Structure 1
Amino acid sequence: MSLLAVSGLSALLGQRRVLHDVSFAVGPGEFVGLIGPNGAGKSTLLKAVLGLVASQGRISIAGLDAAMLGARERAAHIAYVAQEHEIAWALPVEAVVALGRTPYRPAFAALSSTDHAAIEQAMQRMEVATFRDRAATDLSGGEKARVLIARALAQETPLLLADEPTAGLDPSHQISLMRLFDELARQGRSVIASLHDLGLAARWCSRLILLDRGRISADGSPETVLTPESLASVYGVEAYFGTAAGRTVIQPLDLVQPPIQDKPEEDHD
């Protein structure tokens, strides 16, 4: 059974159609990179799955019609890391991470031993346990990002959606996060992450979905999706392709140069 199935999905932002007849399914154990240029519809797609923007089409979560799921039921299946890393309240870091356990607790109920274990593991994984008592509003942008990812990890859902989760992270934490997502997939959970870094996407994702102007341009393994032709046509760039440690390496190098047009010969008559 698919953790997520999307069929014929379309969405508008204002008067502009952002998604056009998007269809795909994600099963257990997949690390899916959602890639594409700015404005391709990546964030809108993630928000449509979560019911945060109006859409047309069918969305199924664990075989259930998403339109019939309440917020708590949906949160038991899908965790979400938003692109924005704002934290409005000066809560301690541990309290922010603990919010990930909300779908499993009655209102105002105390945290259980299971909750505490999930919170601790999430903080350790994202290396934020050392400042668990600091106010989250006092953290740097990268630290806030790691705290919000830890909150999603504490939710312990079968599927995790993350919108540009590596933005604001240094290279060490970017790689650590990608390794973690890969580990979650190997454990049978699944991750869909919107990514702009094609090198990280090529090296770590098991599957890529390439969006271009609101439509799926390609869907498959990194080797089949990221080609010189697709980078030129969708991104307008040329790139270096190689391998290291048995994995693909991609580094965009320059803009695709338009062909030089021959000048018409002057008429000297």
Structure 2
Amino acid sequence: MSLLAVSGLSATLGRQRVLSDVSFAVGPGEFVGLIGPNGAGKSTLLKAALGLVASQGGISIAGLDAATLGARERAASIAYVAQEHEIAWAIPVEAVVALGRTPYRPAFAALSSTDHVAIERAMRHMEVDSFRDRAATDLSGGEKARVLIARALAQETPLLLADEPTAGLDPSHQIALMRLFADQAKQGRSVVASMHDLGLAARWCNRLILLDRGQIIADGSPETVLTPESLASVYGVEAYFGTAAGRTVIQPLDLVQPHPQTGKRP
């Protein structure tokens, strides 16, 4: 059974068509990197799957029509990490992470022992437990990002959607997060993360979906999606391709030079 399936998904923002007839499914145990240039439709796709932007087409969550799910049911199935890392209230970090347990308890109910275990585990994963009592509004941008990821982890949902989760993180925390997402997939959960760092995507994701101008250009393993031809045509860049420790290494090097006669990129 697919944890998330979209069929013929289209979306328009203002007068601009952002997604056009997008279809794919994500099953248990997948770490999917959603890649593509700026404006390709990655963020809109994630938001449409969550019902945060209007769209046309079919969306199902764990085999159920997303339109029939209430907010609590949806939150128990999918956790979401937004691209923006704003935290409006000066509440302790631990209280922010605890918000991830909201779908599982009645309003104003005290946290259960299960809730506390999930919160502690999420904070340790993101290394925010050492400043659990600090006001979230006093944190750096990278620290806020880790707190918000911890909140999503505390939901303990089968599927996690994350919009540029490595943005603002230092290299150590970027790698730690990608390793964590890969481990989550090995445990049977699934992660779909939009990414701009092709090196991280190639090294850690087991599947990539390449978007350009609102359409899926390629969908498959990193080796089949990230090729010199696809990087030249979609991103307009040349890159170094190699391997290290049995995994693909990709490093963009320069812009592709236009054809001297046509003026077009390959």
> TM-score range with shorter-chain normalisation?
over 0.9
Whether 1:120 and 2:109 are equivalent positions in the alignment is no
Percent sequence identity over matched residues? 89
Between the aligned partners of 2:169 and 2:209, the Cα distance in structure 1 is 23
Give the AA of the match of 1:145: A
Counterpart Cα distance in 1 of 2:261 and 2:186: 51
Unaligned segments of structure 2, at least 5 residues: none
C-alpha deviation, 1:236, in angstroms: 0.4
Query: Aligned with 2:24: secondary structure?
Result: strand
- Matched with 2:197 is 197
Alignment partner, residue 221 of structure 1 = 221
C-alpha displacement of 1:260? 2.1
Letter in 1 for 2:52: L
TM-superposed deviation, 1:152: 0.1
SS of equivalent to 1:146: helix
Q: Secondary structure at the match of 1:168?
A: coil
1:82-101 correspondence to structure 2 within 5 Å: 82-101=82-101
Alignment partner, residue 148 of structure 1:
148
Distance in 1 between residues matched to 2:50 and 2:24, nearest whole Å: 15
Q: Which amino acid in structure 1 is aligned with residue 86 of structure 2?
A: E
Structure 1 stretches lacking a partner, 5+ long = 263-269
Quote the offset at 1:172 in angstroms.
0.2
Distance 2:36 2:261 in 1: 29
Alignment partners' CA distance in 1, 2:144 and 2:49: 24
| Inter-partner Cα distance in structure 1 for 2:106 and 2:202 | 42
Who is 1:185 aligned against? 185
- The reply on whether 1:3 has 2:3 as its aligned counterpart is yes
Q: Which residue of 2 aligns with 1:37?
A: 37
TM-score, normalised to structure 1, is: 0.97
1:24-76 Cα shifts (integer Å, max 9, x gaps):
00000000000000000000000000000000000000000000111111000
Instruction: List, as ranges, runs of 4+ consecutive aligned residues in structure 1 with deviation greater than 4 Å.
Output: none
Corresponding residue for 1:265?
none
Spell out, residue by residue over 1:198-234, the C-alpha distance to the aligned partner (whole angstroms, 9 max, x if none): 0000000000000000000000000000000000000
Name the structure 2 match of 1:136: 136
Let me know the Cα RMSD of the aligned residues: 0.7
Counterpart code for 1:34: L
- Paired residues in the alignment total 262
TM-score by structure 2 length?
0.98
Q: How many angstroms apart in 1 are the aligned matches of 2:260 and 2:48?
A: 43
How many Å separate the matches in 2 of 1:9 and 1:151? Answer: 28
* C-alpha deviation, 1:261, in angstroms: 3.2
Return the alpha-carbon distance in structure 2 between the equivalents of residues 212 and 194 of structure 1: 13
The one-letter code sitting in structure 2 at the alignment partner of 1:169 is L
Measured in 1, the distance between the counterparts of 2:110 and 2:144 equals 25
What letter is aligned with 2:140? Answer: S
**Shift of residue 259 of structure 1?**
2.1
Determine the C-alpha separation between the residues in 1 that align with 2:184 and 2:261.
51
Q: Determine helix, strand or coil for the equivalent of 1:258.
A: coil
CA distance in 2, matches of 1:236, 1:193: 22
1:162-181 matches, within 5 Å, as 162-181=162-181
